[in-house]
Amino acid sequence: MRRVLILGGTAEARALAGELTERGVRVVSSLAGRVTAPRLPVGEVREGGFGGPDGLAAWLRAERIDAVVDATHPFAARMTASAVEAAARTGVPLLILRRPGWHEEPGDAWLRVPTLREAAGSIGAGDRVFLTTGRRSLPVFAHSSDAWFLARSVDPPEPPVPANVHVILSRGPYTVEGELALIRDHRLGVLVTKDSGGSMTTAKLVAARRAGLRVIMVDRPPPPPGRLCVGTVAEAADWAQG
């Protein structure tokens, strides 16, 4: 029986684990352990890091893994780099599964920036900002003392955080009506988010369009050159099974 390691933590990773299990493939899903009470996929689950590419390569050899699917978050660049290096050292085939990114639609007012730091620099004095870039990103915005932030994350952020911040602990999916209510109740004028893609959090983009919010969109890092990359669970399942 083939044994496939899925580097997970995303909805696509969970769906892939379920699909491969149904096809008779033995799956091990790896979770970084950064989120409290994560949604677990079917099959075997491993939590915690590997110790960089050296540790991952050793684990692949010891566990006799036949293939690796990197289905981590599109912004998990460090994990992807470790997977690429470990796969190259061991000769284990590697596939990258990345859901497609978001695109502007009529009525949107987006500013695309390459980094979180540039996103922070694009916030003006007096802006009321809906910040949905994750709890680990808040220190980047800690010096934006002239703006007010509504920050949403699954787990509480660690300091430093902006002086004028209100944190909401929540996990998607979200509704357009709920997002519009947040925008209205907190008088928000700017949405700052990452180009994560997917359907679980698109409601904030629809709400921003309807409410006329300016959107600062942080571009995702490009996939590693020379590596096979697909955008759907079905494509990843066919590759991993074969």
- Determine the average pLDDT of the residues in 119-128: 96
Instruction: Quickly name the fold that domain 110-218 has.
Output: Rossmann fold (3.40.50)
* Domain range summary for the chain, segments of one domain joined by +: 3-100+221-241, 110-218
Q: What is the pLDDT of residues 216-227, one digit of tens each?
A: 999 999 888 888
The answer to whether 3 touches 24, Cβ cutoff 8 Å, is: no
Where b means 16+ CB within 10 Å and e means fewer, 9-36 reads: bbbbbbbbbbbbeeeebebbbbbbebee
Q: How confident is the model at residue 108, as a pLDDT?
A: 97
pLDDT at 226: 81
Residues 86 and 53: beta-carbon distance below 8 Å: yes
Q: For 63-113, what is each residue's pLDDT tens digit?
A: 999 999 999 999 999 999 999 999 999 999 999 999 999 999 999 999 999
Give the angle subtended at the CA of 122 by the CAs of 126 and 102, to the nearest 5°: 115
167-185 mean pLDDT: 95
What is the pLDDT confidence band of residue 114, given thresholds at 50, 70 and 90? Answer: very high
10 Å CB burial of residue 113 (0-12, 13-18, 19+) is middle
Fold of domain 3-100+221-241: Rossmann fold (3.40.50)
How far is C-alpha 61 from the chain's CA centre?
28
Query: At a CB cut-off of 8 Å and minimum separation 6, what does 184 contact?
Result: 211
Model confidence over 7-53: pLDDT tens digits? 998 999 999 999 999 999 999 999 987 666 678 899 999 998 899 99
Task: Say what the pLDDT of residue 236 is.
Answer: 98
C-alpha–C-alpha distance, residues 239 and 51, integer Å: 27
110-218 has the same fold as 3-100+221-241:
yes
Dist. CA 203–CA 179, nearest whole Å: 7
pLDDT the model gives residue 199: 86
**pLDDT score of 213 more than 80:** yes
